[in-house]
Chains A and B, each alone.
Chain A
Amino acid sequence: MPEHVRTAACVALGETTFAALVRAGEQQPLAAIIAEVLEARNHP
């Protein structure tokens, strides 16, 4: 992810929140997040 996009996201969410969400993603079962992404693609 380009640095400026990441920065913008951090600003939008508050840096702590973003980092927390990244950590949440790390904890989430991979199959679940793949399913979520593919589902979102089917129903954009």
Chain B
Amino acid sequence: MVERQPAEYENGALSAIFVSLRLKAELTQEALAGLVGVTKRSVQLWESGAGTPSQQYLRRLIAVLVEHGVFAADGSDAAVFWERIRQQALRPVPPFDAQWFAGLSERPALAVLPPPSASSSLAGSSAKLPQPPMPLVGREIELEHLAALMGSPSGRLISLVGPGGMGKTRLALETSRVYGDRFEHGVVFVSLAVLDRAERIAYAIIDAIGLRTSDHDDPLAALVAHLCDRQLLLILDNAEHVLDGVDLISSLLYHAPQLHILLTSRERLGLQAEHVLELDGLSYPSEPTVMLPSDGLERYLARYSAIQLFIQRATIVQPQFRLSRSTALAVVRICQQVGGMPLAIELAASWMRLMQPDEIVRRIQEGLDVFETRMRDLPPRHRSLRATFDYSWHLLNAAEQRAFCRFAVFRGSCQIEAAEAVTATSLGQLAALVDKSLLRRDDAARLAADTDLGLVATRLSMVEPLREYALEQLAAIGEGAAARRAHALYYTMLAERWTMPAAAGPAVQHEHDFDNMREAARWLLTENEHTIGTRLLVAVWRLGRLRSYQHESLSWLQTILAQETTDASNEALSLRAMALTTAAWLASDLHQFAQASSWFEASQMLRRALGQHENSIDMLINRARQARYQGDYRQAIALLEDGLTQHRLHGTFGAIAHGPGSLQYELGLIAREHGDYARARACYAQLVELNRRTGDQEALAISLLGLSDVARDLGQAEEVRRLCEECGSVLRGSSAPWAIGFMRNNLALAAYSEQDYVVSAQLAEESVALFRNLHDDAGLSEVLLTLGRARAAQGDLTAATEALSTALRLGSTTGPRWIVAAALEGLSSLVLARGQAGLAARLIGAANNLRISMQAPQPPVFKP
């Protein structure tokens, strides 16, 4: 490699360099001005150090110098000279473009250009706007909002604010495309991305408009003179790093009364006149994929713009791509993983040329590396999410960086109080992160705040890909363990506070805090922090039960219980007794009654040794559940009545006072299946009353569901719908797939009792898909019965036989026993329809016999 000699214009005063270059070219000031296309006065200003050429004239100047043999043809001189100008110019000048230089020799020789006229010309028509390569997906609501704002006199300054990659620029361009003709003098798009100083904003606007000014002109005055009587939309793109220049914006708005400014930024300007439109991710289904409808999934997903964007982008790299059920679920997961962030979706979809959606899901779980592309028509900061986030990271001060990193240990969203405790930072720092779009106020909280659940406190969250990035930074600054420990301690204490029903608050609030509690438990177990881990699991298991996490909670507790412990303090033993009781309840929920019984007994022994109150009611409930599963209702009722007697004597409901696991709940369930509808209703009504009083929303929902079961069995369709509606309203915002599955089942049977078999089958299918995904065989067998009945009523005997046979198989292996009787009854109609009257009669006989032996009559709704 040849070592380059430093050119003379690398050092020394720029003014002297201009003079020297002109003299080497043997040109007068006037001749040079003519060749470059500027006035002689401009050349004089350059040579006196009062100004520098803009990008346009700098290019022409270099071309002149090359043509006159002053600059080498290889571009080395030109590159150094360009860089000198770039450093000193007030107007923004992009880096030297070697490709442009290479193309110089192919152009015709320079002609003498007429000098520009002193008056400015109006450029800035919409035709000059960047043209996005693809149509915009989604953002209809935002566009409408923008249209309304721009139409109002107070909407002259609008800031589109959001994190990098949220599609702010794209929305601004779409706004100008759709509404640009409202502005008589058009739209001007000004990219501020390359600016490094706020003072350069004015020049960037001047250049974008195409105003011809000289460097000695006051840029603001020039802009005001041009804009004062024009009705124009100015789009200032990527303003976050030059926010010091807000005075210019205020002045322009003041002096140009018909000027509208639409600004995109990761941070708001903080001006009084500013309307801020916070841009969030595109819409996507937020429910767990297990809760997505099985029928018409494609139609259901068509309403979500994040999904549509993925399809649009995937089709580019894989034209034959179509959404099937299996790919659809993976695409939903991708959109959930990235919080609907358009850039992340585009980058993820670009991998469709190599991978299937489920593989992309897995790659995303492994980190940010998947979010990269080689697309050359994207700006460099948008070619990877990491580059996008690096840009924001470098705009933070040290304290903000620390708070940002530590926040990443949260899952989903958290309350402000939690964020303060875990990030060990002030409210002010958190507010700064919100202003910079790195944290956001949570949607669910906003939703709840608009409803009658107005008690929900403000929550903060971080877009998922940003969180991944923050976790990388957290590891780099070495605070990961400290932040996670603070997080785990905070949520352990919160979970313990929530064991008091009155302190629990609305179900929607539990949702994200439960995710955080699971995250904390997982970390505590990995770190062998078993004492705190046990405290957390003992306190939180009831929330997990509603969300069908019993398997997970139980496996964690089993890990803890399997550990040898030398700590024989009362405190440690007492905690172990609680862990045993919790594990027993979880096992009982999972129908592992013998295991549950053994853990209850072990817990009892410990309590006895510690001199604590012995609780035998838990054990009675477990035994009653077992008896019910085996179809022995008399025994089950006797056990529960024994429990009630003990309760009257000792004044306790047992460890679990509300919801499933309470005496009243189990008694209601068994009484209903036993055909004692009045008693069942009384039990649930009592629980509803109790839970309304204590404010335990989740227990209230389950009690309402119990009441709707009674109405369902009695064929009271209207009542079923009313109760399910109330139950759904209580559970709003929280994912309780188990409860939702049974609600759908009840609604399906309500429709069945009204002979609306299409709706009935559809609801039953959804419910079946849900329980299949939950791997809940007991729930599945019950809803398969509904599906079988609905399909039979529609005349689809094959589907009906399949559903009822599966229900029979599950009911006969796992229970509960009544499923067997109901499945046999359903199948008897089907075999009869096939002309097998003899078999039909024997099936009825077997079902009759079973029902009589169990004392579980057929519910009125199914009676012929």
Contact = CB atoms under 8 A, between A and B. Distances in A.
Interface stretch (B453-461, B584-592, B724-732, B843-851): B843-851
A23 B802 CA distance: 26
A36 B812 CA distance: 13
Contacts of A21: 837-838, 841-842, 845
Contact of B841 (A3, A13, A34): A13
A25 B837 contact: no
Interface string B795-838: 00000011001001100100000001000110111001100011
Interface in A15-40: 18-19, 21-28, 30-31, 33-34, 36-38
Interface string B525-554: 000000000000000000000000000000
Closest 10 CB pairs of A and B: A25-B845, A25-B842, A21-B841, A22-B845, A26-B845, A26-B849, A41-B805, A9-B837, A25-B846, A33-B846
Contacts of B832: 1, 5, 9
Contacts of A25: 841-849
Nearest to A36: B839
Which residue among B839, B843, B850 has the maximum number of chain A CB atoms within 10 Å of its CB? B843
Nearest to A3: B864
Contacts of B64: none
A25 B827 CA distance: 14
Given A1-B828, A28-B842, A30-B820, 18 more contacts: A1-B840, A1-B844, A5-B832, A5-B833, A9-B840, A9-B841, A13-B841, A21-B837, A24-B842, A25-B844, A26-B848, A27-B849, A33-B824, A34-B808, A34-B812, A34-B820, A37-B843, A38-B809
Nearest to B838: A21
Contacts of B802: 41
Nearest to B825: A1
Interface residues of B, number: 29
Nearest to A44: B801
23 contacts: A1-B829, A1-B840, A1-B844, A2-B864, A3-B864, A13-B838, A13-B841, A23-B845, A24-B842, A25-B843, A25-B848, A25-B849, A26-B845, A27-B849, A28-B845, A30-B820, A30-B846, A31-B812, A33-B824, A33-B843, A34-B808, A37-B805, A41-B802
Most chain B beta carbons < 10 A, residue from A24, A30, A37: A37
Contacts of B842: 21-22, 24-25, 28, 33
B165 to A, nearest CB: 53
Contacts of A30: 820, 846, 849-850
Residue in A12, A21, A27 with the greatest tally of chain B CB atoms within 10 Å: A21
Given A1-B844, A23-B845, A25-B842, A37 B837 contact: no
Contacts of A24: 841-842, 845
Secondary structure class of chain A's binding surface, majority of residues:
helix
A14 B602 CA distance: 60
Contacts of A31: 812
Contacts of B847: 25
A41 B832 CA distance: 15
Nearest to B811: A34
A33 B831 CA distance: 13
A5 B848 contact: no
B30 to A, nearest CB: 100
B195 to A, nearest CB: 73
B631 to A, nearest CB: 10
Contacts of B841: 9, 13, 18-19, 21-22, 24-25
A13 B801 CA distance: 23
A13 B844 CA distance: 15
A13 B805 CA distance: 25
B632 to A, nearest CB: 15
A12 to B, nearest CB: 5
Given A9-B832, A12-B837, A38 B845 contact: no
A36 B843 CA distance: 10
Interface in B776-812: 801-802, 805, 808-809, 812
Interface string B328-355: 0000000000000000000000000000
